[in-house]
Amino acid sequence: MGVKLHRIISHALAPRRGIKPMINEAHIVKTLILLYTHGPFGRQSLSKILGTGESSIRTLIRRLKELNLVDVSKAGGAYLTKTGESVVEILLKKIVPPKIIDISDLEYLKLSRKACTMILKGFCKKYPNVLRIRDSLIRHGAEAALIICVKEGKLVLLSPQGNGIDETTIKELNKLKTKLNIELRNEDLILISYADTSEKCETSLYKFIVFEGIV
């Protein structure tokens, strides 16, 4: 079955000699996905992408290497081992990773300056707990959130009271569907996290994966 995500997080974030690494759950999950989709990466490149110092990246890579998830080539930088690839492949069966989207031309669905989206595959087969999802995203850094189901090719905006779609939202939901630019399947759950920076809304989605036990 490979290494479980919660074990990876615990190992990577564990204090040593009383000092906790200057990284968080989002850095770990994003690094694994980046190495799978676009790797290998050197420390400098990862530092710029993740917005954290090279010393923190060095610590992260070292700890992932201790779990046999990552190895390092002098020429190319850090890359996933077969074990690391299997961890990400399990995750990608359940999600489409967080993606920053342009909301500058939206009105009703523009709830802050920046927005990021993530797809949970098939998570609408049972009616999602909208309040729990929204509260979790806000707890992890979002200012606001939208939860949307894909039903028969259409986007249905969910609310705690039930399906909430009316004439005022249809146009912008259609715009949003175009912006996602990915293949959506029936029963997919779309999460949109809003914040004043892209980093905050993206981080809230990565932390959601960890704390809600998606994998």
The 10s digit of each residue's pLDDT in 178-207 is 888 888 999 999 999 999 999 999 999 999
Q: 41, 73 in Cβ contact below 8 A?
A: no
177, HSE (Cβ side, Cα atoms, 13 Å):
19
Confidence of residue 166 (pLDDT cuts 50, 70, 90): low
Judged by DSSP in three states, 160 sits in coil
| Nearest-angstrom CA–CA distance, 203 and 198 | 8
Q: 137, 183 in Cβ contact below 8 A?
A: no
Confidence of residue 22 (pLDDT cuts 50, 70, 90): very high
The confidence score (pLDDT) of residue 167 equals 61
Report the largest interatomic distance among the alpha carbons of the chain, rounded to a whole angstrom: 58
| Nearest-angstrom CA–CA distance, 126 and 120 | 12
Amino acid at 2: G
The confidence score (pLDDT) of residue 2 equals 59
Residue-wise pLDDT tens digits, 99-144: 999 999 998 899 999 999 999 999 999 889 999 999 999 999 999 9
Residue 1 has pLDDT above 50, yes or no: no
Judged by DSSP in three states, 193 sits in strand
Token couple for 88: 């990400």
- Say which residues have a Cβ less than 8 Å from residue 23's Cβ, sequence separation at least 6: 12, 13, 52, 56, 59, 60
| Nearest-angstrom CA–CA distance, 153 and 94 | 19
Cα first-last separation, the chain: 12
pTM of the model: 0.92
Q: 130, 159 in Cβ contact below 8 A?
A: yes
State the average pLDDT over residues 4-19.
Answer: 91
Exposure b/e, 148-167, CB count within 10 A at least 16 = b = bbbeeeebbbbeeeeeebee
Token couple for 165: 């779609």
- The secondary structure of 6-55 as a DSSP string is HHHHHHHH--BTTB--S--HHHHHHHHHHHHHH--B-HHHHHHHHTS-HH
H or E, element range at 162: strand 162-163
Amino acid at 28: I
